[in-house]
């Protein structure tokens, strides 16, 4: 019984996206499509434990969804029966819709899946709404799972999903693949959502370990899926590369006691070299498509520089500075400038790094990032290297006060101790 | 989590060295491979030449002995594999159920050990070993 439930869950994860996409081709509304698909799942949960799992569970779910759709069409027709003319016209429309549904369910095409992804990541939605819809409709996650991953109550997450569906429906967002300039903008939104899901799993330090690993793997799967659907979009391959390269360091990112281990101190033998290989291949693909200078490709190229170095000392920091320069030109963000300052310090020494950091801080200005703990943390490091210990201590203390992340607080506390020891010596 | 799906084709233990699959079988397999790829779960796949072209190296008393294929005692041999990344054991099994296999063929589904699953001392013992040199 328990096994059947688990099997149904697995079947759902494999089949739900194509099921929803096929229904949406006819209903043109992904919210309605998802509800019909969910109805089919509920039917399966009732029937399969009794009758066993069908040989072709995907086709079974499709048929169940179609029946549900036709049922609700019939109910709709009864409501308008008394309105004569209009009713007849509606009847024709519904007949047509029923036929179309039957036809659509027989042949799901990749384009439908792509349309589903573009619609779930539509810019008319809040970023949170896009993320939730994507995980639900393309990831096949339950509301409870998504809520657990994002540490919000299930009810809140449920409301977020209904609101997103309502917004799409009210804005009459068409179920289509955009083209031309619009395509670029929409691909950007999809990539942003996927990378956000990845980072939620990769960098968050609170919450459920297992769920977070699942999130970052799910983002990688979505990326690979999208690379199949949009093989000519270089940034899709670049994002796949970036995620593979970052995730390949997973086993090395935690020490024996679960403490964070930063990149220069990681045991590089724990990196997953098969995954690095896949990441490098995806980056090459992005470059072959002419997208080497685009944002995700540049970030992946920076990650690749780290992965190529056998030891931290062998890192090609000069190349990393150049890549950050290029990235800063397209994306003049204080975070990019901050990372660039670290690379500059590695090449030209801490004083040059400090100059670069000042420029990054100017870029941050009064924005929320002015309170970002990495600014004082990096500054403290550089000052320490320059022997300006008292100033360094002040910066590290500031950094500790700014971060709520326990593991980062621990790392900073260690540095503070080192500084105090040096100061009293 | 990663799984290896190992194909154990009936009769492959005694297949001729030059045995190759039919175009029809390959076409069906490609359709399946494509489905794995479309779902974003496929990490790697390979097909293996028949055991008659292989060799077995067995160890006894600190000594390695080589015997060339085919191996008379082998009842089941591996013909190829896929490595997939999925969310559960059940999902791996569901994918295996969808493979275009003929009668009596077997797919064995096995989870791959992740380094991060090992306790610290095992990880430390593995330290210093790089699967391959980082690539250019």
Over B37-73, what HEC string results? HHCCCEEEEEECCCHHHCEEEEEECCEEEEEECCCCC
Taking alpha carbons only, the member of A193, A119, A127, A129 closest to residue A163 is: A129
Tokens of A88: 């007849």
- The conformation of residue A260, written as its DSSP 8-state character, comes to B
Contact predicate A395/A376, CB 8 Å: yes
Option in B40, B128, B130 nearest A225 (CB)? B40
In this predicted complex, what is the ipTM?
A: 0.83
Tokens of A36: 């019909």
Q: How far is A226 from chain B (nearest CA, A)?
A: 8
Q: How far is B23 from chain A (nearest CA, A)?
A: 24
Rounded CA-CA distance A166/A414 in Å is 50
Q: Which helix (H) or strand (E) covers residue B8, if one does?
A: strand B2-8
Taking alpha carbons only, the member of B86, B98, B34 closest to residue A110 is: B34
Crossing angle for the helix pair A334-348 and A350-364, to the nearest 10 degrees = 170
Other C-beta atoms within 10 Å of A85: how many? 7
Chain B residues whose CB is inside 8 A of the A277 CB are 132, 135
Taking every pair of Cα atoms in chain A, the longest distance, rounded to a whole number of angstroms, is: 95
Contact predicate A328/A337, CB 8 Å: yes
Rounded CA-CA distance A357/A409 in Å is 21
Contact predicate B83/B112, CB 8 Å: yes
By three-state DSSP, how is residue A239 classified?
A: helix
- The conformation of residue B17, written as its DSSP 8-state character, comes to T
Q: How far is B84 from chain A (nearest CA, A)?
A: 10
Q: How far is B7 from chain A (nearest CA, A)?
A: 20
Q: How far is B60 from chain A (nearest CA, A)?
A: 32
Residue A283 φ then ψ, to 5°: -65, -45
Option in A6, A229, A274 nearest B131 (CB)? A274
* Contact with chain A for residue B38, Cβ under 8 A: yes
Chain B residues whose CB is inside 8 A of the A228 CB are 37-38, 40
Q: What is the pLDDT of residue A85?
A: 56
Chain A residues whose CB is inside 8 A of the B39 CB are 14, 221, 225
List, run by run, the mean pLDDT of 10-residue segments along chain A (425 residues).
Answer: 82 93 88 92 93 89 86 63 56 67 67 94 96 95 88 92 95 90 93 94 67 88 96 97 94 79 88 93 98 97 95 94 96 90 95 93 75 88 94 94 81 91 87
* Contact with chain A for residue B95, Cβ under 8 A: yes
Peptide bond into A230 cis (omega under 30): no
Which chain B residue has its CA at the smallest distance from A138's CA? B39
Rounded CA-CA distance B98/B107 in Å is 11
Crossing angle for the helix pair A57-80 and A30-51, to the nearest 10 degrees = 120
Tokens of A244: 């593979």
Decide if B127 and A270 are in contact by the 8 Å CB cutoff: yes
Q: What is the pLDDT of residue B133?
A: 43
Rounded CA-CA distance A97/A106 in Å is 14
Distances (CA, A) of A8 to A4, A41, A255, B1: 6, 8, 38, 19
Q: How far is A307 from chain B (nearest CA, A)?
A: 7
Strands B42-47 and B2-8, sheet pairing: unpaired
| Selected residue of B38, B95, B117, B129 to mutate for chain A interface (largest A Cβ count, 10 A) | B38
Q: How many residue contacts between A and B have a Cβ separation below 8 Å?
A: 90
Decide if B88 and A9 are in contact by the 8 Å CB cutoff: yes
Tokens of A281: 């291949």
Range A118-122 contact pairs with CB under 8 angstroms and sequence separation of 24 or more: A118/A176, A118/A177, A118/A178, A118/A186, A118/A190, A119/A24, A119/A30, A119/A168, A119/A173, A119/A175, A120/A30, A121/A186, A121/A189, A121/A190, A121/A192, A121/A193, A122/A168, A122/A171, A122/A173, A122/A186, A122/A189
* Contact with chain A for residue B82, Cβ under 8 A: no
Contact predicate A50/A92, CB 8 Å: no
Distances (CA, A) of A249 to A246, A274, A305, B50: 6, 11, 13, 36
* Contact with chain A for residue B114, Cβ under 8 A: yes
Average pLDDT over residues B40-66: 94
Option in B41, B93, B95 nearest A221 (CB)? B41
Chain A residues whose CB is inside 8 A of the B130 CB are 268-269, 271, 273
Decide if B94 and A310 are in contact by the 8 Å CB cutoff: no
Decide if A14 and B133 are in contact by the 8 Å CB cutoff: no
Chain A residues whose CB is inside 8 A of the B37 CB are 224, 228
Chain A residues in contact with chain B using a Cβ-Cβ cutoff of 8 Å: 6-7, 9-11, 13-14, 57, 110, 113, 214, 217-218, 220-226, 228-229, 250-251, 254, 256, 267-274, 276-278, 280, 307-310
* Contact with chain A for residue B45, Cβ under 8 A: no
Chain B residues whose CB is inside 8 A of the A272 CB are 115
Decide if B133 and A310 are in contact by the 8 Å CB cutoff: yes
Q: How far is B115 from chain A (nearest CA, A)?
A: 6
């Amino acid at each position: 019984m328990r096994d059947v439930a688990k099997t149904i869950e697995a079947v759902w994860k494999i089949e739900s996206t194509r099921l929803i996409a096929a229904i949406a081709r006819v209903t043109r509304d992904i919210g309605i499509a998802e509800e019909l698909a969910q109805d089919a799942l509920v039917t399966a949960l009732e029937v399969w434990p009794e009758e066993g799992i069908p040989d072709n569970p995907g086709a079974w779910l499709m048929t169940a969804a179609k029946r549900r759709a036709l049922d609700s069409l019939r109910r709709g027709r009864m409501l308008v029966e008394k309105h004569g003319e209009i009713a007849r016209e509606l009847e024709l429309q519904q007949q047509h819709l029923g036929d179309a549904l039957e036809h659509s369910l027989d042949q799901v095409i990749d384009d439908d899946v792509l349309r589903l992804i573009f619609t779930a990541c539509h810019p008319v939605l809040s970023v949170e709404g896009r993320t939730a819809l994507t995980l639900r409709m393309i990831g096949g996650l339950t509301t409870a799972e998504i809520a657990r991953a994002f540490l919000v109550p299930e009810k809140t997450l449920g409301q977020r999903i209904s609101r997103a569906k309502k917004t799409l429906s009210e804005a009459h967002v068409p179920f289509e693949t955009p083209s031309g300039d619009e395509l670029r903008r929409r691909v950007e939104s999809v990539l942003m959502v996927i990378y956000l899901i990845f980072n939620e799993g990769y960098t968050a330090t609170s919450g459920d370990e297992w769920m977070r690993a699942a999130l970052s793997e799910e983002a990688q799967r979505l990326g690979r899926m999208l690379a199949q659907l949009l093989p000519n979009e270089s940034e899709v391959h670049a994002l796949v590369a970036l995620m593979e390269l970052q995730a390949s360091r997973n086993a090395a990112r935690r020490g024996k006691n679960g403490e964070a281990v930063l990149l220069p101190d990681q045991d590089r033998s724990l990196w997953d070299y098969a995954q690095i290989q896949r990441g490098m291949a995806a980056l090459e693909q992005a470059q072959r498509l002419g997208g080497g200078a685009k944002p995700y490709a540049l970030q992946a190229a920076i990650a690749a520089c780290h992965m190529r170095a056998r030891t931290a000392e062998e890192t090609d920091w000069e190349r990393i500075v150049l890549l950050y320069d290029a990235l800063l030109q397209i994306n003049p963000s204080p975070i990019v400038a901050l990372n660039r300052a670290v690379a500059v310090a590695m090449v030209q020494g801490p004083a040059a790094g400090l100059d670069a950091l000042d420029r990054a801080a100017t870029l941050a200005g009064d924005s929320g990032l002015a309170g970002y703990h990495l600014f004082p943390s990096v500054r403290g490091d550089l000052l320490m290297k320059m022997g300006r210990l008292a100033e360094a201590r002040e910066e590290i203390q500031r950094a500790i006060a700014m971060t709520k992340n326990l593991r980062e607080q621990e790392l900073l506390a260690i540095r503070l101790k080192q500084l105090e020891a040096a100061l009293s010596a | 989590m990663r799984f290896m799906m190992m194909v154990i084709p009936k009769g492959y233990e005694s297949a001729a060295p030059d045995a190759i699959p039919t175009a029809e079988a390959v076409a069906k397999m490609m359709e399946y491979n494509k489905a794995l790829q479309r779902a974003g779960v496929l990490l790697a796949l390979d097909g293996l030449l028949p055991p008659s072209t292989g060799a077995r190296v067995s160890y006894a008393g600190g000594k390695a002995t080589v015997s060339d294929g085919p191996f008379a005692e082998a009842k089941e041999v591996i013909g190829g594999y896929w490595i997939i990344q999925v969310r559960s054991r059940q999902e791996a099994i569901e994918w295996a159920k969808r493979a275009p296999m003929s009668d009596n063929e077997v797919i064995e589904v096995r989870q791959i050990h992740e380094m991060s699953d090992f306790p610290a001392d095992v990880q430390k013992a593995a330290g210093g070993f790089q699967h391959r040199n980082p690539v250019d």
